[in-house]
Amino acid sequence: MNARHMLWILPALAFAFALFTTTRPALADPTSVQHGGTYVGSVVVEPGQVVDGDLDVVLGDATIEGTVNGDVNVVGGNIFNRGRITGQTHVVGGSVVESFVPWAPSGGNFGSYAPDHRVWWRIAWDVIALVVFLIFPVRARMALDRLEQHPAVSTLAGLCGWVAIFPIAVLLLFTIVLIPLIPVEFVLLAVAVFLGKASLALLVGRRFYELLQPKATPAPLVALVIGLVLLTAAELVPVLGIMVTLLIMLVGLGAVLLTFVPDWNVPGSAASRTRAVIGGPPMPLG
């Protein structure tokens, strides 16, 4: 397998892993059993009920509130004995597995599986970021430059931008005449956030591509798609994903805001002459 194949396989695997870790089985009511046998999913022996024969449960819990005349064997679950078991009990997995693999099924009907809808929301946000990039490719390229050259300043600018949102809205509200501009402010904020995410995805996707293909430079659209997949995979990781999302919203917004600083936008200005060349191979717009 060459590096070009790995370029597409690794992001796909990262996204698939994050997708799997954030989708959990929809827990259904345990199945009430009246006789021994093998069951997939959680089962319960009701109070006063007598089950003759061994009870084997796979990928679920066994709740015993009645009597089981035989052994109770559970794989991938736990035994909750509130009744009477005449034979032996054996548990493989259960709490031990859940402590290391928190997304593993722990109960319910294994066939009832519902993905976390937040995954599809993330994908929808990525599509919007892609559309915003296609509408404002030059602005996205400028934001990418700010991210590479001034990451700390971009972070500070993003923090100031988020802090200033509501004071600006309040000022517009007090003017009475400019109240219609309040929705415009939040629309521009949303566009800036998606544009910032697209710029950050460009940077991540290009660096990842160059890591596997040091002598090649990806097309902007290819770099953007790779970067969005990697960022979305990181956002889907529990706990860490929240920090990644906040970082994207903070740094991305700051980079977009910096593109409106006049000294950095005027060709031939002192800032543009003294700024270091962007690291890595040049990245064409088309």
**239 and 162 fall within a common domain:** yes
282 belongs to a structural domain: no
Helix 181-212, helix 3-21: angle, nearest 10: 130
Residue 217: phi and psi, rounded to 5, are -125, 125
Query: The tokens of 196 are what?
Result: 């910032």
- What b/e string do you get for 168-200 counting C-beta neighbours within 10 Å, with b at 16 or more? ebeebeeeeeeeeeeeeeeeebebbbbbbbbbb
Would you say residue 209 lies in a domain? Answer: yes
| pTM: predicted TM-score of the whole model, two decimal places | 0.54
Note down pLDDT in tens along the chain; length 286 residues.
444 444 444 455 555 555 544 444 434 567 788 888 888 788 898 888 888 888 888 778 889 988 999 888 887 788 888 888 988 888 865 554 444 444 444 444 333 334 456 677 888 888 999 999 999 999 998 999 998 888 899 999 999 999 998 888 889 888 888 888 889 989 999 999 999 999 999 999 988 888 888 887 788 888 899 999 999 888 888 778 888 888 888 999 999 999 988 765 444 444 444 444 444 444 554 4
Residues 122 and 88 in one domain: no
Quote the pLDDT of residue 37: 83
Does 78 share its domain with 192?
A: no
Q: What is the pLDDT of residue 215?
A: 80
Q: Which of 252, 244, 166 is nearest to 202 (CA)?
A: 252
Among residues 72, 100, 128, the one where a domain terminates is: 100
Q: Are residues 8 and 139 in the same domain?
A: yes
Could you tell me if residue 190 is inside a domain?
Answer: yes
Chain position carrying tokens 């006789």: 35
Check whether residue 168 and residue 236 sit in a common domain. Answer: yes
pLDDT of residue 15: 53
Asked whether residue 143 is assigned to any structural domain, the reply reads yes
Distance CA 188, CA 195 (A): 10
Residues of the domain holding 76: 31-100
Same-domain status, 89 and 229: no
Residues 85 and 138 in one domain: no
pLDDT of residue 199: 92
pLDDT value for 263 = 61
